Amino acid sequence: MKLSVILKTLNEENRIGAAIESVIAALEAVPDIESEIIVADSGSKDRTIEIASRYPVIIAQIQAPAKASCGVGPQLGFQYSKGEFVALMDGDMLLDPTFLPEAFDYLDKHPRVAGVSGDINEVNLDNLEFTRRVQRIASQVKHGVRDRLNGGGVYRRAAIEEAGYFSDRNLHAFEEFDLAQRLRLRGWTLYRLDRRYVDHFGHNINSYVLLTRRWSSKYLLGTGELLRAGWQQGRLKQVVQENPEIKLWLGVYAWWAILLFCLIGSLFHPIGLIAFVALLVLPVVAMSIKKKSLELGLYAIVAWCFHAAALPFGILSRRKDPGSWIESTLLKP
């Protein structure tokens, strides 16, 4: 039996060395399993490749016309992998040293489980985006059968091949949900163990700067891109039903329309301006109360607006065959 560990990277010079070392240490807990570590790089401009080259790993990097996206990395690593099982993690994660034996034990006992994961421990909570993520995860049932494995996990190759491909190269977000839905529609299940999978360090930059970067990197187009993929593949209904974010963005459009109506009305009567200000402030107040933080409440509303504005651009984005070979080169076979 062989395991391929895929580390997807893009400018991870600060963390890639520790990430690789954590994988090497974790593989020592499963000495009877043959393994390979694949660094799947989406075009790093820093010292990521230089640092990764010091370790016993395979390094693959995209080449034009391939472009960086969240969906490119996993598929890039998968197309060079040989393992019967594939573990996916980011280049800024540390793999728990005792996770793999328990994961393989569960997969061995449950042959229709396509993938298993565990808790994603968010280390960096200085950023509002990751604070919101932790709160959102804490409000859900974290363990047991899941509809997706956000943050990575260990997958069966046979299940991935049955689903067509590992990740959709066209998606700038929701690539793990997309994979999970394709697996579930074919009768596979996913499971999150009640134990840690990885420590995740995330972005250590201002939250609003991160939002603008996610716009320029097209990350915010992910919802629209997912809708288009679902429509083309005949699963649009399931995509909409299983993503409450889509209904939320539609609610943002309705809010904008009402605000515009009030603003126009203010030209004819002062009550229109009062209504505009009240409706502008009300969602921020409501979210601040819910989050118990004005800072988090305001950021949530701003983030919603960014996502809603990006939705149509994602729907209109051009797509390539998600199962096609990703243009790339092996920098270190």
Is 277 part of any domain? yes
Rounded to whole angstroms, the Cα distance separating 162 from 307 reads: 32
**137-141, 198-202, 244-248: the lowest-pLDDT one:** 137-141
Q: Are residues 198 and 247 in the same domain?
A: no
Confidence band (pLDDT; 50, 70, 90) for 140?
very low
Is 226 part of any domain? no
24-64 pLDDT, tens digit per residue, is: 999 999 999 999 999 999 999 999 999 999 999 999 999 99
Mean pLDDT of 308-316: 96
Mean pLDDT of 298-302: 93
Rounded to whole angstroms, the Cα distance separating 58 from 300 reads: 40
Is 228 part of any domain? no
For 253, the domain range is: 237-315
Q: Are residues 191 and 97 in the same domain?
A: yes
pLDDT at 210: 85
Is 286 part of any domain? yes
Confidence band (pLDDT; 50, 70, 90) for 132?
low
pLDDT at 207: 82
Q: Between these two residues, 139 and 119, which has the higher pLDDT value?
A: 119
Residue of 21, 89, 91, 85 whose CA lies nearest to 55: 21
pLDDT at 139: 45
Confidence band (pLDDT; 50, 70, 90) for 209?
confident
Give yes or no for residue 327 having a pLDDT over 80: yes
Mean pLDDT of 249-263: 96
Count of domains for the chain: 2
Give yes or no for residue 235 having a pLDDT over 80: yes
Q: Are residues 14 and 150 in the same domain?
A: yes
Cβ within 8 Å of residue 310, ≥6 positions away: 215, 220, 221, 223, 224
Q: What's the predicted TM-score (pTM) here?
A: 0.89
Q: Are residues 248 and 130 in the same domain?
A: no
Q: Are residues 111 and 91 in the same domain?
A: yes
pLDDT at 123: 85
Is 46 part of any domain? yes
Give yes or no for residue 202 having a pLDDT over 60: yes
Q: What percentage of residues in the chain have a pLDDT greater than 70?
A: 94
Q: What percentage of residues in the chain have a pLDDT greater than 90?
A: 84
Q: Are residues 72 and 190 in the same domain?
A: yes
Give yes or no for residue 110 having a pLDDT over 80: yes
Mean pLDDT of 67-76: 96
Q: Are residues 41 and 182 in the same domain?
A: yes
pLDDT at 275: 94
Residue with structure tokens 């209109």? 316
Pairing mode, strands 85-90 and 2-9: parallel
Q: Are residues 302 and 172 in the same domain?
A: no
Confidence band (pLDDT; 50, 70, 90) for 333?
confident
Mean pLDDT of 256-278: 93
Give the domain CATH number at 105. 3.90.550.10
pLDDT at 168: 97
Q: Are residues 147 and 291 in the same domain?
A: no
Q: Are residues 14 and 123 in the same domain?
A: yes
Give yes or no for residue 113 having a pLDDT over 70: yes
Is 231 part of any domain? no
Is 227 part of any domain? no
Q: Are residues 135 and 208 in the same domain?
A: yes
Is 103 part of any domain? yes
Cβ within 8 Å of residue 250, ≥6 positions away: none
Q: Are residues 206 and 271 in the same domain?
A: no
Token pair recorded at residue 215: 């716009």
pLDDT at 125: 59
